[in-house]
Amino acid sequence: MTGSVGEIEAPGIPPVPAGVAPDAVRGRSPWYLAWVRLRRNRVALGFGVLFILIVLVCLAAPLWADHVAHTGPDANHITDKVLIDGQEEYVVSPDGTPIGPGLHGRYLLGADQNGRDVMVRLLYGGRTSIFIGVAAALVTTVLAVLVGLLCGYYRGWIDAILSRIMDVVWAFPVLLLGIALGTTLALGGLKIGGLVISGDSVWIPIMIIGLVYVPYMARPIRGEILALREKEFVEAAVAQGKGPIRIMVSELLPNVVSTIIVFFTLNIANNMLLESSLSFLGAGVRPPSASWGTMIADGYQNIYTAPHLTIVPGAMIVLTVLALNVFGDGLRDALDPRAKIRLEH
Amino acid sequence: MLRFAVRRLFGMAAVLFAISVIVFLIFNVIPNSDPAQRIAGKNANPELIARVRADLGLDQSIVTQYLTMMKQIFTGTLTSYASSQNVGEQIWKGLPATLSLCIGAAVLWMALAVVFGYLSAVHAGKFTDRTLTILALVGISVPVFWLAAILLYYLSFKAQIFPTSSYVPLTKNPGQWAYHLVLPWITLAVLFVGFYSRVLRSNMLDVMNEDYVRTARAKGISERQIRIKHVLRNSMIPIITLFGLDFGAVVGGGAILTETVFNINGVGLYAGQAIGSLDLPPLMGVTMFGAFFIVLFNTVVDVLYAFLDPRIRLGEAAPA
């Protein structure tokens, strides 16, 4: 033994047997075990990487716009001509049909009815769509964790009041609530105290989408906290004199982190779908700003003459949301193989 | 049982009341959504706006306005600001189309979800399961309106297999009714097939480990019978709960996108048009109608759940 006389040794740590590298008996945290399980799930991991790639490509939008397409996402080129196979052609032909996708350099994915470069719009639109998805998921997560912790820890009248509010939001037809808020807020913007959000800001769809999904996440967290609250470690924390806030933050919260992570991932996917629906109905992102939803809404008007305007942004939504769903699914299996998490639309 | 039902009814009424207040506030408190100004037009003079306001009763206190609107809902005299049509009649007119769409889609999604979920669970981990899992995840990742647009473009416009839609009443021509609804049914069902088959699969895998399944096997019952009579049946209880909630939500506004793209004159399309003109009364009417369905099915499911599963005691809160 290395400890000097008089020093108290830490109890409970058995000596490492001879011949075994100390590393081999290293304690394995639940996170490490989850990572090992996730690593085995190649499909989920692959889709996780795909999502990160999509994000990176969209973040690189200005590079494509400046160096390849030489145009911005909102710049019209209705009267411009472009060189295709040695021939000059109108970007938007006189009968209103824009050029389709093809390897003609500038308009890789063709142009839309305003002569805007679809590839550039797609990249910038992806930034908006993904940003709204992630930001709204953050709003939902913060609110849902707060509500879940308060309801589950305090129970009683706090739980009663917050749960009834959740019930009301739950019973609201999601799309109708989103549309009603989206259309009215877009007219006048939002002023809460000193905070002013203008009507065409992306923060309006973010706040709406973030609010709408709170009950779907808060309910399961509340349920978990209710069960955890009865455990001995909470009793021990109370006995140590810890206050409610410290118990919630440092004792209860770490125990629901895996649920939160899984929900957060799947929530981004759902948010992106809701954003596209709201934008399609004209209650989400305001034109001329591009998001994948507004691009479909624009393109759908001309689906019979220029189907690529509808197909391309929709395919990007499917790919991104699918990547998140598959990755989230794998994450859930890895973090908590017995969990039953439900997210709905 | 009676006490439980009465309590649920009171809860329902309270939730509906809260929703009506919220919708009302959304349209009355948020700045720049003054309906009188919108109806009078952009270049209206103050007198015209004042007259419109007086006509619609918008010069009264907000509480009076709210009470008037509620009274109109209950007496069926609520009329649209924009078109002066009776809201109740319009919803009633749209109901057959919406119900045709939703019931047909619901039958389709339940049938497919049970088949896919069953196959997935029985062949868990094998090729069938993996394929169905990927398909299910694709299903829940597709925006409904985009799927509708793509189906319309490829199957109706290009291949001309299906009509470029619009709704034909069942009473007029049952054949055409179904023919025109095939694509909308598929569109609306896809999301739920993906979702339900996943839930059913995981439920079945759980139930397969139950003691009573082992007992049944020990009694020598055939594997097929065990799967259907013991495993599938017990796994269906949570699915029925989900179904109740989702069906309520779909009837109550969830079909708005499908109706919009396929141009089906249902309740959803009516709401969509009201939104375009920011017309409060129809939106209030449709939202209340939708919320009513959601809350109603919530309650029905709670009661049914208690009925199906005797382990749930009625005095306690129903499970989420």
Bond preceding residue A287 cis, omega within 30 of 0: no
- In whole angstroms, give the CA distance from residue B253 to residue B274: 13
Q: Is residue B135 one of the residues assigned to a domain?
A: yes
Q: Is residue B27 one of the residues assigned to a domain?
A: no
User: Do residues A293 and A231 touch, judged by C-beta distance below 8 A?
Assistant: no
More reliable by pLDDT, A164 or B28: A164
Question: What's the mean pLDDT in A161-176?
Answer: 83
| DSSP codes, A219-239 | HHHHHHHHHHTTSHHHHHHHH
Establish if A84 touches chain B: CB-CB under 8 angstroms: no
Nearest-neighbour CA in chain B from A7: distance (Å): 52
Say how many Å lie between the first and final Cα of chain A, rounded: 61
Mutate to test the interface with B, among A54, A168, A279 (most CBs of B within 10 A): A168
Q: Is residue B279 one of the residues assigned to a domain?
A: no
Question: Which residues of chain A are within 8 Å of residue B137 when distances are taken between CB atoms?
Answer: 322, 325-326, 329
A269 — pLDDT class (breaks 50, 70, 90): very high
CATH (domain of B148): 1.10.3720.10
Taking an 8 Å cut-off on Cβ atoms, the answer to whether B283 and A314 are in contact is no
| Least confident interval from A7-16, A48-57, A188-197, A210-219 | A7-16
Q: How far is CA A123 from the centre of its chain?
A: 17
Q: Is residue B19 one of the residues assigned to a domain?
A: no
Predicted pLDDT at A210 = 92
Q: Is residue B24 one of the residues assigned to a domain?
A: no
| DSSP codes, B38-66 | HHH-TT--HHHHHHHHHHHTTTS-HHHHH
At B76, list the tokens.
């069926």
Q: Is residue B293 one of the residues assigned to a domain?
A: no
- Per DSSP (E only), the strands in B32-129 are none
More reliable by pLDDT, B306 or A277: A277
Predicted pLDDT at A4 = 46
Establish if A71 touches chain B: CB-CB under 8 angstroms: no
- In whole angstroms, give the CA distance from residue B107 to residue A84: 51
Angle subtended at Cα B109 by Cα B107 and Cα B111, rounded to the nearest 5 degrees: 65
- Identify the three-state secondary structure at position A171: helix
Q: Which of A171, A223, A329 sits opposite B19 (nearest CB)?
A: A171
- Identify the three-state secondary structure at position A8: coil
pLDDT at position B110 over 90 = yes
- In whole angstroms, give the CA distance from residue A133 to residue A115: 28
SS3 per residue for A306-331: CCHHHHHHHHHHHHHHHHHHHHHHHH
Question: What's the mean pLDDT in B249-270?
Answer: 85
Torsions phi, psi of A58, nearest 5?
-65, -35
* Segments forming the whole domain that contains residue B125: 99-267
More reliable by pLDDT, A139 or A299: A139
pLDDT at position B118 over 50 = yes
Question: Which residues of chain B are within 8 Å of residue A189 when distances are taken between CB atoms?
Answer: 31-32
Taking an 8 Å cut-off on Cβ atoms, the answer to whether A172 and B22 are in contact is yes
Q: Is residue B75 one of the residues assigned to a domain?
A: no
Question: Which residues of chain B are within 8 Å of residue A191 when distances are taken between CB atoms?
Answer: 31
Question: What's the mean pLDDT in B229-242?
Answer: 84
Mutate to test the interface with A, among B127, B275, B299 (most CBs of A within 10 A): B275
Taking an 8 Å cut-off on Cβ atoms, the answer to whether A273 and B141 are in contact is yes
Predicted pLDDT at A35 = 86
- In whole angstroms, give the CA distance from residue A195 to residue A191: 6
More reliable by pLDDT, A296 or A175: A296
Establish if A42 touches chain B: CB-CB under 8 angstroms: no
More reliable by pLDDT, A342 or A19: A19
User: Do residues A61 and A123 touch, judged by C-beta distance below 8 A?
Assistant: yes
Of B255, B248, B241, B242, nearest to B289 by C-alpha is B248
pLDDT at position A125 over 50 = yes
Q: Is residue B184 one of the residues assigned to a domain?
A: yes
Predicted pLDDT at B41 = 65
Nearest-neighbour CA in chain A from B59: distance (Å): 20
Taking an 8 Å cut-off on Cβ atoms, the answer to whether A187 and B199 are in contact is no
| Least confident interval from A101-115, A243-257, B128-142 | A101-115
- In whole angstroms, give the CA distance from residue A344 to residue A170: 11
Question: Which residues of chain A are within 8 Å of residue B289 when distances are taken between CB atoms?
Answer: none
B2 — pLDDT class (breaks 50, 70, 90): confident
Question: Which residues of chain A are within 8 Å of residue B30 when distances are taken between CB atoms?
Answer: 184-185, 187-188, 190
A345 — pLDDT class (breaks 50, 70, 90): very low
Question: Which residues of chain B are within 8 Å of residue A190 when distances are taken between CB atoms?
Answer: 30
Contacts from A261-265 at CB under 8 Å and sequence distance 24+? A261/A331, A261/A335, A262/A328, A262/A331, A262/A332, A262/A335, A262/A336, A262/A339, A262/A341, A263/A141, A263/A144, A263/A217, A263/A220, A263/A341, A263/A343, A264/A137, A264/A141, A265/A324, A265/A327, A265/A328, A265/A331
- Identify the three-state secondary structure at position A284: coil
Question: Which residues of chain B are within 8 Å of residue A223 when distances are taken between CB atoms?
Answer: 320
Q: Which of A168, A176, A273 sits opposite B290 (nearest CB)?
A: A176
Question: Which residues of chain B are within 8 Å of residue A340 when distances are taken between CB atoms?
Answer: 202
Taking an 8 Å cut-off on Cβ atoms, the answer to whether B143 and A189 are in contact is no
**Domain tally for chain B?**
1
Of A323, A119, A343, A300, nearest to B147 by C-alpha is A300
- In whole angstroms, give the CA distance from residue A274 to residue A264: 15
| DSSP codes, B201-230 | HHHHHHHTTSHHHHHHHHTT--HHHIIIII
Of A85, A90, A122, A131, nearest to A105 by C-alpha is A85
- Identify the three-state secondary structure at position A333: helix
Please report the residues numbered 176 through 205 in chain A whose beta carbons come closer than 8 angstroms to any beta carbon of chain B.
176-177, 179-181, 183-185, 187-191
Q: How far is CA B214 from CA A79, B211, B226, B311, in A?
A: 74, 5, 9, 21
Question: What's the mean pLDDT in B132-138?
Answer: 91
pLDDT at position A150 over 70 = yes
Provide the percentage of residues in chain B whose pLDDT is more than 90. 17
pLDDT at position A336 over 80 = no
Torsion sign across C-alpha atoms A57, A43, B141, B181 = positive
Predicted pLDDT at B229 = 84
User: Do residues A279 and A182 touch, judged by C-beta distance below 8 A?
Assistant: no
Nearest-neighbour CA in chain A from B40: distance (Å): 16
Per-residue pLDDT of B21-40, as tens digits, reads 888 888 776 655 566 666 66
Predicted pLDDT at A20 = 61
Question: Which residues of chain A are within 8 Å of residue B36 when distances are taken between CB atoms?
Answer: none
| DSSP codes, A55-73 | HHHHHTHHHHIIIII-S-T
Please report the residues numbered 260 through 319 in chain A whose beta carbons come closer than 8 angstroms to any beta carbon of chain B.
269, 273, 276-277, 280-283, 293, 296, 300, 303-304, 307, 310-311, 314, 317-318
Predicted pLDDT at A273 = 93
Q: What length is written for chain A?
A: 345
User: Do residues A294 and A101 touch, judged by C-beta distance below 8 A?
Assistant: no
Q: What is the mean pLDDT of chain A?
A: 81
Nearest-neighbour CA in chain A from B254: distance (Å): 7
pLDDT at position A1 over 50 = no
Taking an 8 Å cut-off on Cβ atoms, the answer to whether A273 and B275 are in contact is no
Question: Which residues of chain B are within 8 Å of residue A167 when distances are taken between CB atoms?
Answer: 11, 15
| Least confident interval from A53-62, A180-189, B143-152, B189-198 | A180-189
